[in-house]
A = this chain, B = another copy of it.
Amino acid sequence: MDKLIKDILKQAPAIKVNGSLWLESDGTHFFGPGPVELLEGIAETGSISEAAKKMRMSYKKAWELVNTLNAQSVNPVVIPRTGGEKGGGSTLTDEALELIKYHRLLRQRFATFLAEETEKLKK
């Protein structure tokens, strides 16, 4: 008879099935949790540099992500506004908000999958 995983592994009650998820195209990852968090930060603060700071991401890296996302989208998802009195005021397009929403739902479905798998381990 098959042994159950919970009888094989010592710390079975504490074990979780976990994972990460991303979109990729031709093997290149994009649009994982990092870019999405950046978009959310820009939506919240209106500023690429503020959003980067919140994530402890370098300004350079944040710009790279924004440029990559814009390059991969039919229409730009972030409209950067540099300079000006307050030195910023970047806005997200509707497409960016749609991507954020999609990602949130995708992560919810993934969380459900992981929770179900974690439950199965205990049975």
Contacts and interface: CB of A to CB of B under 8 A. Distances in A.
B23 A74 contact: no
A22 to B, nearest CB: 6
Contacts of A110: 19, 113
Given A8-B73, A95-B3, A18 B15 contact: no
As for how many copies of this chain the complex holds, the number is 2
B5 A98 contact: yes
Interface string A41-85: 000000000000000000000000000000111110100000000
A109 B121 CA distance: 14
Interface residues of A, number: 40
Given A5-B102, A14-B25, A18-B23, 8 more contacts: A8-B99, A10-B74, A16-B23, A17-B23, A106-B117, A109-B117, A110-B113, A113-B113
